[in-house]
Amino acid sequence: MNKKLMLGNEAVARGLYEAGCRVVSSYPGTPSTEMTEFAALYKEMSCEWAPNEKVAMETAAGASIAGARSFCAMKHVGLNVAADPLFTVSYTGVNAGMVIAVADDPGMHSSQNEQDSRHYAKASKIMMLEPSDSEECLRFTKLAYELSEQFDTPVIVRVTTRVAHSRSSVPMTERIEAPLRPYEKNPGKYVMMPGMAKVRHVVVEERIQKQIAWAETAPINTVEYNSTKIGVITSGISYQYAREALGTNASYLKLGCVYPLPVEVIQDFAAKCEKVYVLEELDPFIEEHCRQHGIAVIGKEAFTLQGEYSQSLIAKVILGTAATSLETDLQIPARPPVLCAGCPHRGLYYALSKLKVMVSGDIGCYTLGALPPLAMMDTCICMGASISALHGRNKANPENASRSVAVIGDSTFIHSGVTSLINVAYNQTNSTVIVLDNSITGMTGHQQNPTTGKTITGDPTTAVSLEKLCEAIGIRRVRVVDPYQLAETERVIREELAAEEPSVIISRRPCALLKYVKHNPPLTVNQEKCVGCKMCMKIGCPAISMKDGKSQIDFTQCVGCGVCQQLCKPNAIEEGK
Amino acid sequence: MSVKSIMIVGVGGQGTLLASRLLGSALLSQGYDVKVSEVHGMSQRGGSVVTYVKYGDKVFSPIIEKGEADLILSFEQLEAARWLPYLKKEGHIIVNTQQIDPMPVITGAAVYPEGVLEAIEQAGAAVVPVDALGLAVEAGSPKAVNVVLIGVMAQKMELSKETWLKAVEENVPPKFLELNKKAFHLGYSHC
């Protein structure tokens, strides 16, 4: 059999392909993004980046009702955005199979919270599978389509960062086409208004009972008996940690289906083991199920609600063993992520720092502007909140309007900033909104979006005009600046802060990492002219550092953007060759 | 065979992901069970990044923890010191001697420590220093640091040179193949 080392996310994409999935619609979000990127490499599936997760899930639902196997992927916080359709597609069920992938991020490698999406499965009464490696990502994704059609329900596949972003060996098979199922008009099933939904709710509750019966004998809920002194009930990546830490010193009940959970299987397993642990990251989801059914387990009281589990944590708690490690007595400075050399956001933030404004921030690369030395962000809540929170701030005290701005990226603006801007225009605050248009969705690794004029496959398509969109919303003052031009950028922001009406500034310059962006030769510091004033250090460029009291520029990083040159009074920063 | 653990550490943007991908495919081609754990997203932007590569008869956990790594390949000196506690006693640590100031050093909130390599050696690790940036420039591009370091690591491992070169071919674009082959050889013959 053909085997390949695949990311968990890549294996999910392969699973879609092999299962005959036809329609894929997602919004990027670490750690889920590669599922859709890899899916787009298969010509047999129609794949797209949607403006947000809600649109993506509704697209997948529509495709399923139309008879095509469909898919949407998102990160955990994206599922919040898509929660509205989620709870109701549970009632409508499917025509062809519909699979929803959600990627949780315990430890918050790249997220603003570490919510546990398993609660969504329970709350929306939708079955949830959880793979623990890439091979299972493929196999469980295919199984999810079968279960979706068998039980007439969407099925969620949940991964966590370590599964999504780990590579392991995956056996591949051929695609089996799933022809379009005929669509039949059925308002009782697909039109969810009270009269119909009441009937469907009964169906949903019956469905869950059938799924519990299935879970009692499901082949993806596996038992491995070794020593029965220790029993471990677990799922997903925690199984891998436990198996490595405890080996054959423990027995394992690995739950491939985390909602709904079986009862008898767990009772039987627990009865055979002397001491039973539940090993699961984040919330006590399986643990509470056990307790509800009177099964004595050790869970969060011995472990943690925060961050990731690991083999050493499990070994320490259960076996009391700890590894020794090599140490130096060096003071090692932290290395936080930074805006890249040449990042267009840097000039914009520098201009804001000179104006000493309050900044209502948003989610993206530009959130890094919150860190020193720029440190130009006051709040960051969720996608789109920059504009709505600024509006609220200015409603709370209209005097704030002349000394505060919102910053939001192009993709985030389309995702959920547009409705917030409509609120600014409709309910009139003199808010100043800055759209950081770097022509790409940056933080998640360069995905196209509705403003870039390209689809997920790079094909040309229509592009949203941010200027015209803002005008149509009712914003009369729309300005465009180049954030590499510091004085001009500062002047325009100053004017818009003073304006007695809502305004939008589009700070436009493509991401310096985009392949088509041409770089200038690296700049150099004339060591004779440099007076060591450190003005160039104020912008927090990773290519600039001080050595022996003088500034120096790292040629491997500098892209010659020239922002630092504008700050250098003695003109010591010179063009490279 | 029992599981071997290799860590690849560096600064976001240095090409650690390509290095781990290359190592992973070289190991898979030799029939090992392999797991590679990567970092994507926010920390890639100039932050401290780490990739874990584990191989053997059967690998469970994809991550490596303190005291577990047989070998660390570090793309930068400070990162070598940061991740040293993950190395086993008597483990090897290959260190690119390049220094990249982290933002707290740039802003003056912290200092880049002196004598990093000596301190690592004193702690009990076998250090292999290499000017990978110099060799990469010699190969034709400073971006080839990752493949130079793969070359150095290849010396310390049991796989054949052909296996490595095949992995290079499979993982770099044809346009840059000659450059990367040269980078690999410079690393491989480094001593």
> What average pLDDT does chain B have?
94
Q: What is the mean pLDDT of residues A369-397?
A: 97
DSSP, residue by residue, A230-286: EEEEE-THHHHHHHHHHGGGSEEEEESEEESPPSHHHHHHHHH-SEEEEE-SSS-HH
C-alpha to C-alpha distance for A454 and A191, rounded to whole angstroms:
34
Give per-residue pLDDT as tens, A114-143. Answer: 999 999 999 999 999 999 999 999 999 999
Q: How high is the pLDDT of residue B43?
A: 60
Q: How high is the pLDDT of residue B44?
A: 67
> What average pLDDT does chain A have?
97
How near does any CA of chain A get to the CA of B25, in Å? 7
C-alpha to C-alpha distance for A8 and A523, rounded to whole angstroms:
41
Q: What is the mean pLDDT of residues A557-571?
A: 97
Burial of residue A127 (CB within 10 Å: 0-12, 13-18, 19+) is: buried
Could you tell me which residues are beta bridge partners of residue A527?
none
The CA distances from residue A46 to A139, A195, A391, B151, in Å, are 21, 35, 38, 41
Percent of chain A's residues with pLDDT above 70: 100
Q: What is the mean pLDDT of residues A403-407?
A: 98
C-alpha to C-alpha distance for A561 and B102, rounded to whole angstroms:
20
Q: Which range (A86-95, A185-194, A226-235, A547-556) has the least confidence?
A: A547-556
**Collapsed DSSP state (helix, strand, coil) of residue A192:** coil
pTM: 0.97
Contacts of residues A461-467 at CB distance under 8 Å and 24 or more positions apart, as own/partner, are A464/A414, A466/A410, A466/A413, A466/A435, A466/A437, A466/A504, A466/A506, A467/A506
Burial of residue A363 (CB within 10 Å: 0-12, 13-18, 19+) is: buried
Does the beta-carbon distance from A323 to B66 stay under 8 Å?
yes
Does the beta-carbon distance from B42 to A110 stay under 8 Å?
yes
C-alpha to C-alpha distance for A84 and B83, rounded to whole angstroms:
44
All domains in chain B, ordered by first residue: 4-188 (3.40.920.10)
- Picking from B10, B148, B155, B14, the residue whose alpha carbon sits closest to that of residue B80 is B10
Q: How high is the pLDDT of residue B1?
A: 82
CATH 3.30.70.20 corresponds to the domain A524-574 = yes
Q: What is the mean pLDDT of residues A341-347?
A: 97
Could you tell me which residues are beta bridge partners of residue B127?
B93
Q: What is the mean pLDDT of residues B143-151?
A: 96
Res. A282 pLDDT band, cuts 50 70 90: very high
Residue A165: which of B38, B85, B105 has the nearest Cβ? Answer: B38
Quote the ipTM score: 0.95
The answer on pLDDT for B40 being more than 80 is no
Per CATH, which fold does A2-217 belong to? Rossmann fold (3.40.50)
Residues A434/A479, Cβ–Cβ less than 8 Å? no
Does the beta-carbon distance from B106 to A542 stay under 8 Å?
yes
Domain covering A221-319 in this structure, CATH number: 3.40.50.920
Per CATH, which fold does A344-508 belong to? Rossmann fold (3.40.50)
Give per-residue pLDDT as tens, B149-159. Answer: 999 999 999 89
Give per-residue pLDDT as tens, A252-280. Answer: 999 999 999 999 999 999 999 999 999 99
C-alpha to C-alpha distance for A532 and A526, rounded to whole angstroms:
11
Contact residues, chain A, for B84 at CB < 8 Å:
326-328
Q: Determine the longest span between alpha carbons in chain B, in angstroms.
A: 49
How near does any CA of chain B get to the CA of A315, in Å? 12
Query: B159 phi and psi, to 5 degrees?
Result: -75, 155
Does the beta-carbon distance from A325 to B116 stay under 8 Å?
no
Burial of residue A177 (CB within 10 Å: 0-12, 13-18, 19+) is: exposed
The answer on pLDDT for B45 being more than 90 is no
Does the beta-carbon distance from A337 to B102 stay under 8 Å?
no
Residues of each domain in chain A carrying CATH 3.40.50.970:
2-217, 344-508
Q: How high is the pLDDT of residue A1?
A: 66
Give per-residue pLDDT as tens, B83-134. Answer: 999 999 989 999 999 999 999 998 889 999 999 999 999 999 999 999 999 9
